Chains A and B, each alone.
Chain A
Amino acid sequence: MNVMPGYVREEGMGEQNTLLLSVTDKKRLLREMLYARRFEERCYEAYVERKIGGFLHLYSGQEACAHGVLEAARPGFDYVITGYRDHIHAIKCGADPREVMAELYGKETGSSRGRGGSMHIFDVKHRFMGGYALVGGPFPLAAGIAKGIKMKGGEEISICFLGDAANNQGTFHESLNMAKIWELPVLYVCENNLYGIGTRIDRSTAVLDQYKRAAAYDIPASQADGQDVEAVYAAAVKAVEHVRSGNGPYFLELKTYRYRGHSMSDSNAYRSKEEEREWLKRDPIHILRNRLIDANALTLDEFKAMDQEILDEIENEVVRFAEESPEPAVEDLEKYVLAEDDPYVRGGRV
């Protein structure tokens, strides 16, 4: 699978290379992506220590996708929804990393009060509308959120991040069709990491370039290098602008790679070490770091210091918070199943 560095491809537009972010923004993004990497790798350790249970899907390698897109959007204002690989999307929307980690630990202080787990991070106050574990489930939910936005006449857009393999679900086709006929303000972002668990895209999917599939519903689409946050950003600026201006849905494909197995129980036996090595050469954090160093905006020492600061922060604040937080009370087992004291259950207005 060829990836052209730093490219954005749009049907009929040729390729472009647009660098739009300021140095300050780039440095902040570098820090955020490094934070994301360290956060995920710390989850890995906690999982090995059996502090985290269940399925754990890590985002390492794909950081430029969520960061580039949401940098172009308005996190905390726009609605974001995704699948089970959701920690970093939540954090970029504004979720407190301590609460995300506490959720993975199953604690009462977790973002979903320990009832959700890694695959079900929610932070509705920051309009992170959740991580969902059924592949393809969020496609219609995102369109529905967009329907609500449209009814209320807001400026928000709805952004849905899902994987390449999700596009083979019926919900993909049903949702894109309805998003188009109803001109809904929804941006579908496909993080194409070339695999659905252990099945490589060419063995599961007739069309390898996912952005081309949007044409079936007459939805404008583009493809960008998902390892280069600036390329993602450039593509996303256009995509977001399209949707926010009331032009209906947009589909953005980002070519990327996950470093870890699909989840912690996956040994990656289905792909070659050589392929992994090739992708590691295009690490999103290194690409941005080197670019900043080349531009004399950063030194390697500064980068290392930043890294250490992040490691300390995650250890001393995030992990510690999760470890020290209380478990949910067993008496509360049946809380949150249904609304509490809804008057219409008794047929009456209060």
Chain B
Amino acid sequence: MAQMRYWEAIRRAHDEELAHDPMVIAMGEDIGVAGGTYKATQGLYEKYGPERIIDTPISENGYTGIGIGASFVGVKPIIEIMSVNFAWLATDQIVNTAAKVRYMSGGQLSAPIVIRSPGGTAHQLGAQHSARMEKVFMGVAGLRVVTPSNPRQAYGLLKSAVRCQDPVFINEHELMYNMKGEVPDEEYFHPLEGSEVARPGRDVTLLGYNISVHWCLQAADVLSREHGIEAEVLDLYALSPLDREGIKASVARTHKAVVVEEAEAPVGVGAEVMAILNEECFFELDAPPRRVSAANVPIPYNRTLEKAAIPNARDVVQAVLSLFPGKGRN
């Protein structure tokens, strides 16, 4: 196993899939000559040329639609949208075409595209560069939504997404591209459905995805060290469909649950997981499950306000302690 950065893992998946199938292309703003905003396509323009590594104009809905149209005739496009905030402009083609075409054609056509885009709050980028969209896409029938929390997933999810016959939205994170982690040396396809236990535990299940998995892991360390609580961290790398069985199995072990998301709470991943907990785990739960979410605000520029808007490991610890009366001193 090699240590690799998140961006390098994504780049490797691109490179392997481009080499594997001449119908795989990558398209997006500044991904070619400039090498990609987060280096996910670095060097690929030189290797595969302008017909396959396509620098697009700033026309998100247009080039996403072109990717979809190309996928109708056997092309497998990997579309990078520079920041997920710009993917709002492409929601028409993603939602109205890619997600629905298989159904409304009675199975005749499908749009096997991959859209990758970094979401999330980075460092003081302001309201229009700090949003998350996974909650929007996971609510749309006909789309798959996955979100890697580490380089291994980033690599393996992109590989599977390219091969899969469904449109897949991959939610990355601006703060995670430099993160290091182990990636198998041999080719690896990560499942597009399911969840992973990132840390086993017996007292409470922390459900996270993408960056919030790391807050959960930090919180689990604190809880174990300082409070004697062993938290299980469940990594929901697949947001659509969500892993009902995996959630059920973990909560059946721990009987307590806290969902942690970077986005604002309404109509989000947390809300959806809460519904599953209610429907599937009601009688397993020893305490009301909790959500840890962002403040319901456009993300502020000011550093202090920005930090206050986004949850962190401490918030997760607090939420867990509230489920254990008598534990914790606050």
Q: Are B72 and A120 in touch, CB under 8 angstroms?
A: no
Q: How far does the Cβ of A176 sit from chain B's closest Cβ, in whole Å? A: 9
- The chain B residue with its CB closest to the CB of A147 is B70
Closest chain A residue to B92, Cβ basis: A134
Q: Is the CB of B193 within 8 A of A140?
A: no
B37 at the interface (CB under 8 A from A): no
CB <8 Å contact, A144 and B166: no
Q: Would A149 and B73 count as touching, CB distance under 8 A?
A: yes
* Contact (Cβ within 8 A) B165 A339: yes
Q: Does A143 contact B (CB under 8 A)?
A: yes
Q: Does B110 contact A (CB under 8 A)?
A: yes
Asked if A347 meets B191 with Cβ closer than 8 Å, knowing A129-B72, A148-B73, A170-B61, the reply is yes
Known A79-B73, A345-B164; contact A178-B66, beta-carbon cutoff 8 A = yes
Residues of A within 8 Å of B141, CB to CB, are 337
B66 touches A124 (CB 8 A): no
- Assembly CA distance A116 to B69 (angstroms): 18
Contact A141 B69 (CB under 8 A): yes
A122 at the interface (CB under 8 A from B): yes
B51 contacts the other chain (CB 8 A): yes
Interface residues on B, range: 35 or more
Q: Decide if A110 is an interface residue (CB 8 Å cutoff).
A: yes
Interface centre among B70, B144, B160 (most CB of A within 10 A): B70
Contact of A339 among B25, B66, B166 (CB under 8 A): B166
Which residues of A315-350 have CB atoms within 8 Å of chain B's CB atoms?
335-339, 342, 344-349
CB-CB contacts of B90-133 with A at 8 A, as 1s and 0s? 00110011000111111111100000000000000000000000
Q: A174: nearest residue on chain B (CB-CB)?
A: B62
Cα–Cα, bound, A140→B79 (Å):
14
1/0 per residue B39-81: CB within 8 Å of A?
A: 0000000000001001011010111111111111111000000
Q: Which residue of A lies closest to B112 (CB)?
A: A339
Is the CB–CB distance between B108 and A170 below 8 Å? no
Establish whether residues B104 and A115, one from each chain, have CB atoms under 8 Å apart when the complex forms.
Answer: yes
Inter-subunit contact A347/B105 (CB<8 Å): no
B268 to chain A: closest CB distance in Å? 22
Contact partner of A174 among B57, B163, B193, CB < 8 A? B57
B72 and A148 contact, CB distance less than 8 A: yes
Chain A nearest CB, measured from B157 CB (Å) = 9
Answer whether residue A151 sits at the interface, using C-beta atoms and an 8 A cutoff.
Answer: yes
Q: Bound state CA distance, A116 and B102, in angstroms?
A: 10
- Given A129-B109, A337-B142, A339-B165, verify A139-B104 contact (CB < 8 Å): no
Task: Please measure, in the bound complex, the distance between the C-alpha atom of A336 and the C-alpha atom of B164, giving whole angstroms.
Answer: 15
Rounded to whole angstroms, the CA-CA distance of A130 and B192 in the bound complex is: 29
In the complex, B285 has a CB within 8 A of chain A? no
Complex CA distance for A337 and B96, rounded to whole angstroms: 13
Interface-central residue, A81, A178, A338, by most chain B CB under 10 Å: A338
A112 partner, pick from B97, B104, B189, beta carbons under 8 A: B104
Contact A122 B193 (CB under 8 A): no
B59 and A346 form a contact (CB under 8 A): no
Provide the residues of chain A in CB contact with B97, threshold 8 Å: 132, 134, 137, 141
Question: Is A197 an interface residue when CB atoms closer than 8 A count as contact?
Answer: no
Using a CB–CB distance below 8 Å, which chain B residues touch chain A?
22-23, 25, 51, 54, 56-57, 59, 61-75, 92-93, 96-97, 101-110, 141-142, 144, 156, 160-161, 163-166, 189-193
26 contacts between A and B (CB under 8 A): A81-B69, A113-B107, A114-B106, A120-B104, A120-B105, A122-B106, A137-B65, A137-B92, A137-B97, A140-B61, A140-B63, A140-B69, A141-B68, A147-B66, A147-B75, A149-B73, A151-B22, A152-B73, A174-B62, A344-B189, A345-B164, A345-B192, A347-B189, A347-B190, A348-B189, A349-B189
Q: Which residues of A contact B (CB under 8 A)?
A: 79, 81, 110-117, 120, 122-125, 129-130, 132, 134, 137, 139-152, 158, 170-171, 174-175, 177-178, 181-182, 335-339, 342, 344-349
The 10 closest A-B pairs by CB, nearest first: A144-B69, A140-B65, A174-B62, A113-B106, A347-B191, A148-B73, A141-B69, A174-B59, A339-B165, A122-B105
